[in-house]
């Protein structure tokens, strides 16, 4: 993947929807600045799209900026990511505007400034947006627990018995060793629920995935799960609590996951755990004629 140049998407307005994530909606007289990306292969394009699960992809015409900072006269065909109830399965309730997080706005602004996007645009369209203040470490939120003392669960029973057999709309994910349950039966197209279903359901600790996807400059950078610290885990849980709350989803901790080193002790586990009724596993184009995409996330990373 290579960054081509800054471009303008005309007749669209920047909004924040679906848990405070950036969105593009059609509105005459407005414009959105972003980055044109070109992918080396279809595989790279598919991998990139995984980070934006929950969005629809729309073909648009954008105008690259010249070195002088003015839009060129010949547009380029590109793709952009949008939440749009008119062209997708998302409901208007899911797509209504929400307050973005302070961290999110600062990342978007930082990325735009790095690529030389007009400072006036950054101030008027990003930094002036009302936001949800950054949560201090001492105030990190946690999911409520089903029981004060959590029953233990082995990795195989979590992945194969519980996640693989989950009914439609049930989602399970792990942060640290907490197994968290999400009920999205009544709202399966909720973008947050879709992200969890494709990027977290049935997997082990998603702290590193969140750290790489969300990005928080206040957090020590790590590239391997073995370097994850309790701070990373606490941050990840706080992020998911806040995002799910903004997305009208509720989660609760239902099990404590046993580390793999203790699987040999399964025979000594309480019978009530072994007989618990568990219910399925689900868990960035090389087309040289297409420049892809005017992507809102890269502008913030």
Contact 247, 16 (CB under 8 A): no
Average pLDDT of the segment spanning 188-210: 87
Q: In the predicted model, is pLDDT for residue 289 greater than 80?
A: no
pLDDT of residue 301: 36
- Answer with the residue of higher pLDDT: 245 or 262: 245
CA distances from 217 to 107, 112, 152, 176 (A): 8, 16, 34, 21
pLDDT range class, residue 40, cuts 50, 70, 90: confident
Average pLDDT of the residues of the chain: 77
Q: What are the domain boundaries of the chain?
A: 2-133+285-300, 138-274
Least reliable range by pLDDT among 50-59, 76-85, 233-242: 50-59
pTM: 0.68
Q: In the predicted model, is pLDDT for residue 220 greater than 60?
A: yes
pLDDT of residue 20: 64
pLDDT of residue 201: 93
Q: In the predicted model, is pLDDT for residue 74 greater than 90?
A: no
Q: In the predicted model, is pLDDT for residue 119 greater than 70?
A: yes
pLDDT of residue 300: 37
Q: In terms of DSSP H, where are the helices of 137-183? A: 155-156
For 168-196, the pLDDT digits (tens) are 889 999 999 999 999 877 777 777 888 88
Contact 282, 225 (CB under 8 A): no
Q: 138-274 — its CATH code?
A: 3.10.120.10
Q: Of 67-76, 102-111, 177-186, 225-234, which has the strongest mean pLDDT?
A: 225-234
What is the b/e burial string over 236-257, where b = at least 16 CB atoms within 10 angstroms of the residue's CB? bbbbbbbbbebbbbebebbbeb
pLDDT of residue 208: 93
CA distances from 13 to 9, 33, 87, 101 (A): 9, 10, 17, 19
pLDDT of residue 65: 82
**Topology (CATH level 3) of domain 2-133+285-300:** Hypothetical upf0131 protein ytfp (3.10.490)
Q: Of 2-16, 56-70, 230-244, which has the strongest mean pLDDT?
A: 230-244
CA distances from 256 to 184, 250, 252, 261, 278 (A): 22, 18, 12, 14, 14
115/109 Cα distance (integer angstroms)? 10
pLDDT of residue 296: 38
- Answer with the residue of higher pLDDT: 87 or 131: 131
pLDDT of residue 278: 36
End-to-end CA distance of the chain: 14
């Amino acid at each position: 993947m290579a960054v081509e140049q800054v471009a303008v998407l005309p007749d669209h307005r920047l909004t924040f929807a679906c848990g405070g994530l950036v969105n593009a909606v059609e509105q005459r007289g407005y414009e959105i600045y972003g980055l044109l990306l070109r992918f080396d292969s279809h595989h790279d394009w598919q991998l990139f799209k995984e980070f934006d699960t929950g969005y629809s992809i729309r073909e648009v015409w954008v105008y690259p900026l010249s070195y002088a900072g003015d839009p060129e006269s010949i547009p380029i065909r590109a793709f952009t990511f949008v939440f749009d109830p008119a062209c997708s399965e998302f409901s208007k309730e899911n797509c209504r505007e929400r307050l973005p997080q302070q961290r999110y706005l600062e990342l978007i602004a930082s990325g735009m400034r790095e690529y030389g996007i007009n400072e006036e645009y950054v101030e008027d369209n990003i930094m002036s947006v009302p936001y949800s203040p950054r949560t201090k470490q001492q105030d990190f939120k946690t999911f409520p627990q089903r029981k004060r003392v959590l029953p233990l669960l082995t990795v195989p029973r979590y992945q194969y018995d519980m996640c693989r057999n989950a009914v439609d709309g049930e989602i399970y994910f792990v942060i640290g060793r907490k197994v968290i349950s999400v009920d999205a039966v009544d709202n399966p197209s909720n973008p947050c629920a879709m992200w969890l279903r494709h990027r977290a359901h049935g997997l082990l600790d998603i702290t590193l995935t969140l750290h790489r996807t969300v990005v928080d400059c206040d957090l020590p950078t790590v590239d391997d799960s073995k370097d994850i610290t309790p701070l990373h885990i606490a941050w990840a849980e706080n992020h998911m609590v806040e995002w799910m709350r903004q997305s009208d989803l509720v989660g609760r901790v239902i099990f404590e996951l046993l580390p793999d080193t203790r699987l040999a002790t399964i025979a000594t586990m309480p019978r009530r755990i072994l007989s618990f009724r568990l219910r399925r596993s689900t868990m960035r184009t090389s087309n040289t004629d297409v420049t892809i995409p005017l992507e809102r996330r890269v502008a913030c990373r």
